Structure 1
Amino acid sequence: MMLPFVTPLKRIPTPKGDVLHGIKATDSGFEGFGEAYFTHIHHQETKGWKRHNRMTLNLICPYGKIKVTVRDEKNIVLEALLSPDQAETYQRLTVPPGYFVAFTGLAKGDSLLLNVASIMHDKNEADTVPLNYFDP
């Protein structure tokens, strides 16, 4: 199974407002286009755990700051901070099918997470478990 990975993204300064790059069809992690959708997450709230069984996720935070945790059934595989505010956190997290994902809003107020998904939403394609599912 392919591992999740982070790709640094470009922020292009322009006089009237920066351009934030997201994803190209030639980028590693692009597995086709099904749909793109945004999720709001409130400060210090956590959404998860969800495991997509066929969908590849490409997660980008265009506003705010979000911690994303990716795990398998036994261990945390990767934790990533996503935010457009700093060069080191403006990045895309690619999560192949088969991993559980949870994310927490770290910015004051709401944060916004974009998923460029490889397939269209299918309510039967994902598994959801409670946040405390992996607690010891």
Structure 2
Amino acid sequence: MISGIVITQLREISDGRGAVLHMLRRDAPGFLGFGECYFSEVQPGAVKAWKRHSQQTQNLAVPIGRIRMVIYDDRADSPTCGQLDSIELGRPDRYFRLTVPPGLWYGFTCVSGLPALLVNCADLPHDPAESIQCPIDDPDIPYDWAKHGGSILT
């Protein structure tokens, strides 16, 4: 696993009426603060990539559908520099919180047959000046979305 990435099993309380899905509490280990919380809908096969934050920490979970999250480490001072990892998130068996620290490239694709819903509870409010994006097919990131089942959409 890439240095700094944290995967936390999330609590799900289900009965015949539905489910309560925990995501993040201020007394949770690793909680850094609240900046904003938003949802990102991803259509089957669509890709949203690549983005890197310089200050903001992402806390991601997928309560509906399933996504494949891909993370690339090009931090020169990191013990995992040059490493690429992917993880699937979603219910019923992969309901985790994925914490992505600043400085890592990440992107994701919906791998379920229906749209997926990704929730991000970030520690800082969105500030376009502290993040950068690069093209989905950037040659500096060794991942081919089309080869792994994603359509080349941004």
Residue aligning to 1:75: 83
Q: State which of 93, 101, 109 in structure 1 corresponds to 2:114.
A: 109
Residue aligning to 1:128: 133
Residue aligning to 2:12: 11
Residue aligning to 1:56: 57
User: Equivalent residue of 1:94, what SS?
Assistant: strand
Unaligned regions of 5+ residues in structure 2, if any? 75-81, 144-154
User: Equivalent residue of 1:18, what SS?
Assistant: strand
Matched, 1:90 2:95: yes
Q: Is the 8 A contact 1:25 1:32 kept in 2?
A: yes
Instruction: Tell me the TM-score normalised to structure 2 length.
Output: 0.81
CA shift digits 1:38-58 (9 cap, x unpaired): 001111111111001110000
Runs ≥4 in structure 1, deviation > 2 angstroms?
Answer: none
- Taking the aligned partners of 1:50 and 1:29, their CA distance within structure 2 comes to 22
User: Equivalent residue of 1:39, what SS?
Assistant: strand
Aligned-pair RMSD on alpha carbons? 1.7
User: Equivalent residue of 1:108, what SS?
Assistant: coil
Superposition deviation, residue 34 in structure 1:
0.5
Q: Is the 8 A contact 1:80 1:93 kept in 2?
A: no
Radius of gyration: which is bigger?
2
Instruction: Tell me the TM-score normalised to structure 1 length.
Output: 0.91
Superposition deviation, residue 13 in structure 1:
1.6
Q: Is the 8 A contact 1:66 1:107 kept in 2?
A: yes
Superposition deviation, residue 70 in structure 1:
1.1
| Count of residue correspondences | 133
- Taking the aligned partners of 1:132 and 1:75, their CA distance within structure 2 comes to 17
